[in-house]
């Protein structure tokens, strides 16, 4: 049986990836310090004979246990271990810098020692507030190196450079993906991302918070499509040393998206969503919040045969149902105080 190590496997995207890998017939070791992930996300896997949870910090991970053979050497290493929402990485800036630098270094050394294939999950945030639209993998970005979001943006850029150097210097089979806005079950109401923000506020009957003029754009990819892209990147042959954008190129302004969410939440509550007009609350745009964000996914389509298939309304209905079933009663005070229009992942 092949083995996969998933850093950050109890997080929003990581938990879906772990489930997909187990379903694919791999044994999985999930390493997560639960700073932003939760056991609830992987509850269905905890008793599975081919799933192991290590509640440890990737930045401090003792990788020698795999090298010594105390644990099965991973055939595949997926590095998703980083706070990924604005709220989380502004709360944990040093930890974010360390997991994307020291943590990446440790996992790359492990991949080199064990001959593992390595996938690093970067972010569309490395493009910053882009001067090129849509963003292709060749674009270098427009990023503040020392602004409030640099703990995330710059540490991801450093991790990309380190990952590529392990391919050039040591021949490690690496792949890099840049994740654009992703949504779906297992995200948190209070993590500051666009989708849980808007859904949580709409479910609670609160005004939807819009930062700036609401004309800034985002492209939203459902989590099952994103996971399919991660699997395609890892298991496609002859793409070592490549970088791929993964996201949905369908672009919406933040105000348009608020209207879509408001209508679908009304539908979920049994009202006529067509007649629903969102109540909006306007806030100042945070520092370094990008105005436009849309991936060019031509490269992923050409080399991986990947493109998203879940329609926005269908994915949002699934997400609203998930939140509505278990989270509608929760307070949204943290949501209303969240930062910005939402992070990339």
pLDDT tens digits for range 236-276: 999 999 999 999 999 999 999 999 999 999 999 987 656 66
List CB contacts of 85: < 8 A, sequence separation 6 or more: 36, 191, 192, 193, 342, 343, 345
Q: What is the pLDDT of residue 292?
A: 87
pLDDT band at 284 (very low <50, low <70, confident <90, very high): confident
Q: What is the bridge-based pairing of β-strands 76-79 and 3-7?
A: parallel
Q: What is the pLDDT of residue 340?
A: 40
Q: Output the CA angle 16-19-24, nearest 5 degrees.
A: 125
Selection from 259, 250, 267, 152 nearest residue 210 by Cα: 259
Using CA atoms, how far apart are residues 26 and 47, in angstroms rounded to an integer?
15
List CB contacts of 81: < 8 A, sequence separation 6 or more: 7, 8, 11, 14, 31, 32, 58, 99, 103
The helix or strand, by DSSP H or E, that contains position 162, with its residue range, turns out to be helix 150-170
Q: What is the pLDDT of residue 274?
A: 62
Using CA atoms, how far apart are residues 185 and 27, in angstroms rounded to an integer?
23
pLDDT tens digits for range 52-65: 999 999 999 999 99
Q: What is the pLDDT of residue 273?
A: 59
**Do 99 and 82 meet the contact criterion of CB atoms below 8 Å apart?**
yes
Residue 183 has pLDDT above 60, yes or no: yes
**Do 237 and 198 meet the contact criterion of CB atoms below 8 Å apart?**
no
**Do 306 and 228 meet the contact criterion of CB atoms below 8 Å apart?**
yes
Residues tagged active-site: 152
Q: Percentage of residues in the chain with pLDDT exceeding 70?
A: 93
* Residue bearing tokens 């989270």: 327
Residue 343 has pLDDT above 80, yes or no: no
pLDDT tens digits for range 165-182: 999 999 999 999 999 999
pLDDT tens digits for range 4-54: 999 999 999 999 999 999 999 999 999 999 999 999 999 999 999 999 999
pLDDT tens digits for range 185-233: 999 988 888 999 999 999 999 999 998 899 999 999 999 999 999 999 9
Helix spans in 204-269 (H): 223-235, 254-268
Q: What is the pLDDT of residue 288?
A: 75
User: Which domains occur in the chain, in start order?
Assistant: 3-182+220-246 (3.40.50.720), 187-219+250-293+309-336 (3.90.25.10)
pLDDT band at 95 (very low <50, low <70, confident <90, very high): very high
Q: What is the pLDDT of residue 275?
A: 60
Helix 254-268 and helix 194-203: axis angle, to 10°? 40
Q: What is the pLDDT of residue 333?
A: 36
- Average pLDDT in the 122-140 region? 96
- Token pair, residue 308, equals 């998203």
Residue 330 has pLDDT above 60, yes or no: no
Q: What is the bridge-based pairing of β-strands 280-283 and 208-211?
A: parallel
**Do 72 and 129 meet the contact criterion of CB atoms below 8 Å apart?**
no
Mean pLDDT score of the chain, rounded to an integer? 92
């Amino acid at each position: 049986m092949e083995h996969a190590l998933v850093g950050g496997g109890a997080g929003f995207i990581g938990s879906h990836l772990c489930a997909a890998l187990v379903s694919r017939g791999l044994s999985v070791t999930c390493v997560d310090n639960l700073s932003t992930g939760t056991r609830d996300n992987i509850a269905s896997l905890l008793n599975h004979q081919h799933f192991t949870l290590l509640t440890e910090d990737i930045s401090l991970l003792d990788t020698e246990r795999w090298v010594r053979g105390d644990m099965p050497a991973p055939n595949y290493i997926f590095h998703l271990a980083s706070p990924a929402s604005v709220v989380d990485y502004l709360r944990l800036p040093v930890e974010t810098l360390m997991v994307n630098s020291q943590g990446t270094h440790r996992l790359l050394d492990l991949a080199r020692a064990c001959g593992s294939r390595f996938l690093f999950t970067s972010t569309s945030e490395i493009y910053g507030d882009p001067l090129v639209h849509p963003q292709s993998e060749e674009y270098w970005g427009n990023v503040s190196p020392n602004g409030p979001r640099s703990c995330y943006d710059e540490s991801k850029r450093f991790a990309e450079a380190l990952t590529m150097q392990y391919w050039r210097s040591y021949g490690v089979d690496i792949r890099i993906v840049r994740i654009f806005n992703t949504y779906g079950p297992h995200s948190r109401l209070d993590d500051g991302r666009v989708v849980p923000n808007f859904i949580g506020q709409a479910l609670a009957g609160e005004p939807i918070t819009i930062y700036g003029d609401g004309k800034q754009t985002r492209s939203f990819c459902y989590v099952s499509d994103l996971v399919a892209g991660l699997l395609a990147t890892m298991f496609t042959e002859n793409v070592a040393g490549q970088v791929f954008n993964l996201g949905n190129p369908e672009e919406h302004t933040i105000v348009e998206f608020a209207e879509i969410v408001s209508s679908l939440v009304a539908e979920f509550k049994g009202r006529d969503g067509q007649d629903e007009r969102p109540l909006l609350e306007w806030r100042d745009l945070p520092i370094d919040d990008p105005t436009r964000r849309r991936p060019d996914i031509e490269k992923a389509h050409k080399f991986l045969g990947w493109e998203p298939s879940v329609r926005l309304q269908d994915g949002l209905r699934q997400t609203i149902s998930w939140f509505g079933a278990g989270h509608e009663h929760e307070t949204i005070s943290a949501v209303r105080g969240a930062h910005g229009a939402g992070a990339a992942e």
